Each structure stands twice: as C-alpha cells, then as structure tokens.
Structure 1
Amino acid sequence: MGTDLVIRGRQIGSKELIQIRSVIARQWTQGRVAISRELCRLWNWRQENGHLKGQVCRILLRKLESKDLITLPPSKRGLANPPNRRYYVPPPEPPEVDTSPLETAIEDLPPVRLAMVRRTLHEGLWNYLVYRYHYEGFRIIVGSHLKYIAWAGDRPVACLSWSSSVFRIAARDRFIGWDPQARNRNIRHVVNNNRFLLLPWVRCKNLASHLLGLSARIIGRDWHAFYGYPAFLLETFVDQARFRGTCYKAANWTLVGEMAGYAKKDNRFYEHGRKKDVLLFPLVRDFRKRLQYLGEGGVR
C-alpha cells in the first residue's frame, strides 16, 4: 500500500494490514467480535476507562473491507448490526406516567432535579418517553452517550440525552479554529445534545432553559466519570422549520451558523434540505486551547 490510511484515528500501513490479515486468519471461525478484540489487545487500543475499543475497531475493519484490503468472515447473525441490538422495541405495556396537565410558574414547581439514567432502572422509562413523545422518536443512540430524566418531585417533566459529537461541522469547526489533525485527536471532547424533550403536558415558562443550565453544570462531571475523559464543549442542532432555539439562547448558548442540509448514509452524502442552526456552549474558558492541543497525554 503506497500511502498509509488513517481510519478512526488509527494509522493503517502495510505492516498493520499484514497483522490484521494474520489475526483474521487465526480468528476466522470465532467471528468479527473476536477479531476486533484481539486487534485491540495487540494495539492496546482502549478507551480512557480501560475498555477495549471493540466497536470502533469493527468499524475500521468494515472500512478496510469496503476498500478491498481485507476479507472479513460473515457476520454470525448475517447483519453487522443485529436488529435486536440496533433498534428500541416498545414494551407491550407502557410504563405508568402521570399525564395530567402541569401548568405552573417554575418557582411553584416541586424541586427540579436531573438524574442520569443510563444503565439504571429508569433507562427504560427514558426510552419509552422519547420514543412516544419526541418528534424524531427513538431507536438507538450510537456511540458514547448519557441519558437524563428531569423530575419535578416524583413526576418526570423532561428527557435529555448527550452523545458523541458529529465529526465535521463547518460552522463549529470555524468557531473552534482547529485544524483536521486537532479535530481528529480531540473531537471526543465535544458532546452533542441530541435529544431534548419537554413532556407535552408540561407548561412551565423558563423550565427548558433552566434544565439546560442544570445539564451544563453536571454533564462534564458525569461524562468524565462514565467515560474517563472530559468534555470541553457542548453542541446542538436546532431544526429551523420547527424551532427557534429560544431556550438555548436564553441559557447562553451561542449561535455560530447553520448546517448545510446534507447527511451521510452508506458512505455517501445526500441533500435532505433540512437546515439546522448550530449552537455551542463552552464548559471551560480555555476550550479553544484545549481542543486545538496536539501534545502528548491530552489536556485536562
């Protein structure tokens, strides 16, 4: 191979391809998961919490296969992402939720708290509420993510989730001022607010911006505790045809531009025409310095 490839931050040259093909040959009958785990162990390719980057490695392997550089064994279930792991299936009996109207001033609400529910007993409630009441629904969140339910006393009033950032957004990248090398290295420190749902029976002025403020105070701590590395910048994308982003602006998020109206599917870009505003919120004052950093060990 004349020129090395960089896939998912991993440099792949002739030496790495020989190693990958050798592991595939040894682990062929064990399947793709075993191949990815063995490669991660050989490369010591781990998340900062110590877990192997197995899913990322399998994405790398599929990209190499799409370039005809390797051949992978068939998926044991016939699909790269089995349906029972990929999509949310609502329960036959929905969880019981008090849907009576809640219309009051924010100061008259019971104490409002945000609870992180990823891998807790309340994650199923979050999944159902977002599936049932969010305009985009819920099937799955790919990659790193955390889910939150906002409670007013013992009643859920809102659901939020935060996930891995979108890799390339021109307006955001200009605002940060990083080059492609810094983005490749530090994109994990940008976290995306990909779901924000106020439950439809809740009418409370300023509650949305209040919840965004609460989120900004705890997401950095929770993200670091859960994934082992810090978040420096929050981002979100607001559909211009549906919303004006008022609650984000009231919570001091900065509008930095708009998305181009394209999406990626099957390694190809297509125009969907849905313009979205790009809003950002720094969690640390020197976020640009940290996100532009290229030294060893990363910036804390």
Structure 2
Amino acid sequence: MISVVKARGRTFSAEDLELIRSLIRQGNLNRQRISQEVCRALNWRKPDGGLKDMSCRVALLRLHRDGIIELPPPLSKDNNRLRPIQFTPASDPGEPITVPLHHLGSIRFIRVSGSKQSRFWNELIERYHYLGYTRLPGAQIRYLIYTDSGVLLGAIGFSSPAWALRPRDELVGWTKEQRLKHLNLVVNNSRFLLLPWVHVKNLASKILSLTAKRLPQEWQATYGHTPVLLETFVDKERYRGTCYKAANWSYVGETQGRGKWDRLNEYKLPVKSIYLYPLHKNFRQILAGSD
C-alpha cells in the first residue's frame, strides 16, 4: 500500500490520499471542485492566500494517471476548454503595421487582471496563435502588448515550467530532489503572439528582452519567489526561433514529443526546440543549491 507519494513538488501522505479519495467518493464534485476542496483541506495556498488550484489540478491528474486515485471523467474531452471562445470585433484584424521599430515609440505591457482582460487575452490567443488557447498551468502572468499610442501589437504569457526536461536539467546539473525543491524558480514562456498584421523588424526580440527584465520583480511580488531561468519551446517545423536567438536565448536541445506533464508518454506531440534564458548569472548554483 502506498504510504507517501510526491506530485507537483508536494508530498502526499496516506492520510492525504485517503482524504482525496473520500472527496471523490462523494460523487457530486467535478475535477475543479475536488481540486479546490483538496487545497482547502491541505491548506495548499499561494503567498497571497489564494488556493493553488491549478497546481493541485496538475498533481491530481498525475496521481490519477499513476493509478493512485481515480478522478471523475472531465466535463469535456479537453478539460482545458470548458466552453468555446467567442470572437468579438475587438479582436478583428487591424490595418497592417510595417513601420520601423523606433517609430512605434515605447512598448507598453498591460498585465492581465480581471475577467474582461483575461477573456480578451484568451480570445487573441485562440484566434491567432497556432496552438490556440488552453489554460496555462500553475502560477502565471500574462500581458497584452500595445504601442505607446494604444495600438494593440500582441500578447504574451508565462506559466509553470516543464516537470522534467532533459537538456535543461543536464545544463542546470541538479538532482531530482533539487529539482523538486527549486523548480518554482523556472518559468515557461507558454505563449507569445504578435498579431499577424504586425510586421515590424526586431519587434519580437525587443518584446522578449523587455519582458525578461520586468518579469522577475512582478513574479516575486505575486508569488513570493524570484525566478532565475526562463524556458520556452519552439515548433521546429513552423519556426526557426529567430526572435529568441536575437534576444539572447540559448538553444539547448529538443523535446521528446511529450507534453510538459506527461510522465507516462501517453500523448505524442511534435518535437520542439528548447530555448533557455538565464535571469540570474548564478542560476545554476541557485537551482542546484541546497538552500
């Protein structure tokens, strides 16, 4: 009988697992409600006091796939899409933007907050990003990107990193225990969108550089820890990673064609190039350290 298990960096005791099973046995809770009730029961909270709901959902899904618990069926085949996104005139194509970069003036980043901005960010990603919209896992920060004069340019989002990523993990040089302890100091650039009518040379790399400068402080203020490394994945069949290279991100290898949290190799995905960007010069020592 399993007495202790780790998932999403958290240790679940036999008592914790029985509590989770008892919530499932109630039969009237969907996966979201189960996750929320588990967070409350185990006092699994963010620094601001909010429930760590998305992290808990990922952990519960892992326990489910490992056969430790049995979750109820998702509300839909893709539980990340509970309802279709409706396109509005606000996201309709605009006039082509082809000016030199310096003609745009300052680039403004509006951090997504509130349901209205969140829906608009989701709408842009669903309508114009090749991957479409899915809920970002765990901790996250999203931005809408504008010119100084208020012209919309795109959107970008950051969220929790991949659980295990061989090229990244070999570069960092951490043990499994160190990774469990310090993975929250790595952040994934999950989505980056320049609207298809925006054609401004060097704009993409400029945006990446600007977000890398502002993200650590905002992440610290929101989640109570400062990230030291960024990661992202580039579909090598679609893109060459030019903007990441121009923004001084480093290519370190390729994925194995699995999802960020797919430990059982159940879901085949396109092989992607992995890029990393250090936010601290001593990121290896910090991530592989014992403190």
Category of TM-score, reference length = shorter chain? 0.7 to 0.9
Counterpart of 2:102, as a letter, is: E
Cα offset for 1:48?
2.4
Counterpart of 1:99, as a letter, is: G
Cα offset for 1:294?
2.9
The question of 1:100 aligning with 2:86 is answered: no
The question of 1:86 aligning with 2:110 is answered: no
Identify which range, 236-245 or 4-13, moves more after superposition: 4-13
1:160 to 156, 159, 175: 156
Q: Which residue of 2 aligns with 1:151?
A: 146
- Partners of 1:26 and 1:265 in 2: how far apart? 22
1:228 to 217, 224, 233: 224
Cα offset for 1:236?
0.7
Cα 1:282–1:210 change in 2 (3 A) is same
Q: Which residue of 1 aligns with 2:246?
A: 250
Identify which range, 231-240 or 85-94, moves more after superposition: 85-94
Q: Is the 8 A contact 2:189 2:231 kept in 1?
A: yes
Counterpart of 1:245, as a letter, is: G
Identify which range, 62-71 or 225-234, moves more after superposition: 62-71
1:24 to 14, 18, 22: 22
Q: Secondary structure at the match of 1:196?
A: strand
Cα 1:36–1:24 change in 2 (3 A) is farther
Cα offset for 1:105?
0.7
Deviations 1:217-270 (A, max 9, x none): 111122222223221111111111111111111111111111122347876315
Matches within 5 A, 1:187-198: 187-198=183-194
Counterpart of 1:115, as a letter, is: I
Normalised TM-score (structure 1): 0.81
- Partners of 2:262 and 2:250 in 1: how far apart? 32
Normalised TM-score (structure 2): 0.83
- Partners of 1:234 and 1:262 in 2: how far apart? 19
Deviations 1:19-71 (A, max 9, x none): x27x9279937747676556545544322222233444455456556666567
1:142 to 128, 132, 137: 137
Counterpart of 1:219, as a letter, is: L
Q: Is the 8 A contact 2:87 2:123 kept in 1?
A: no
- Partners of 1:266 and 1:291 in 2: how far apart? 23
Q: Which residue of 2 aligns with 1:298?
A: none
- Partners of 1:263 and 1:84 in 2: how far apart? 15
Q: Which residue of 2 aligns with 1:132?
A: 127
Counterpart of 1:214, as a letter, is: L
Q: Is the 8 A contact 1:235 1:279 kept in 2?
A: yes
Cα offset for 1:214?
0.7
Q: Which residue of 1 aligns with 2:283?
A: 287
Cα 1:236–1:285 change in 2 (3 A) is same
The question of 1:53 aligning with 2:69 is answered: no
Deviations 1:160-190 (A, max 9, x none): 1111111111001111111111111111111
Instruction: Count matched residues.
Output: 289
Where do 5+ consecutive residues of structure 2 fail to align?
A: none
- Partners of 1:233 and 1:269 in 2: how far apart? 26
1:207 to 203, 206, 210: 203
Cα 1:42–1:169 change in 2 (3 A) is same
Percent identical pairs in the alignment equals 35
Q: Is the 8 A contact 2:250 2:275 kept in 1?
A: yes
Q: Secondary structure at the match of 1:201?
A: coil
